[in-house]
Structure 1
């Protein structure tokens, strides 16, 4: 099973910005996601359209399962 974590932030211009992390661990918790997003905002390493990420908007984890068939 593959997990993708999508974090949505609001930048200083008021626009929404997504950061997608492939290969997220199974069972990631709300507290871990909150902590990660707080750290990303505090470190101010990412920009979106030249504007810093300033607040959290939302997050979701997507689970993908692939079944291959031998034909």
Structure 2
């Protein structure tokens, strides 16, 4: 599974992270930055009293799950 992990700075200078799961293949830096710009401009998310104010970083994280067993109830 691929996840997009975005890191922002809020108005107080604290780092905040946001993760989006099931990211499509081919996501580019420009796509991620455009999304982050929209989230900041629209003030969509605020943690506590501070709004997101700056982009800090973005990365794609890939994880692999290996099922060892599955007990069905």
Give the CA RMSD over aligned residues: 1.4
Residue 64 of structure 2 aligns with which residue?
65
Residue 52 of structure 2 aligns with which residue?
53
Residue 39 of structure 1 aligns with which residue?
38
CA-to-aligned-CA distance 1:18-56 (integer Å, 9 cap, x gap) = 011111112210000010000000000100222000000
Residue 6 of structure 2 aligns with which residue?
7
**Structure holding more strand per residue:** 1
4+ runs of 1 displaced by more than 4 Å? none
Higher gyration radius (CA):
2
TM-score, normalised via structure 2 length: 0.85
Query: Structure 2 regions of 5+ residues with no counterpart?
Result: none
Query: Structure 1 regions of 5+ residues with no counterpart?
Result: none
Aligned residues between the structures: 69
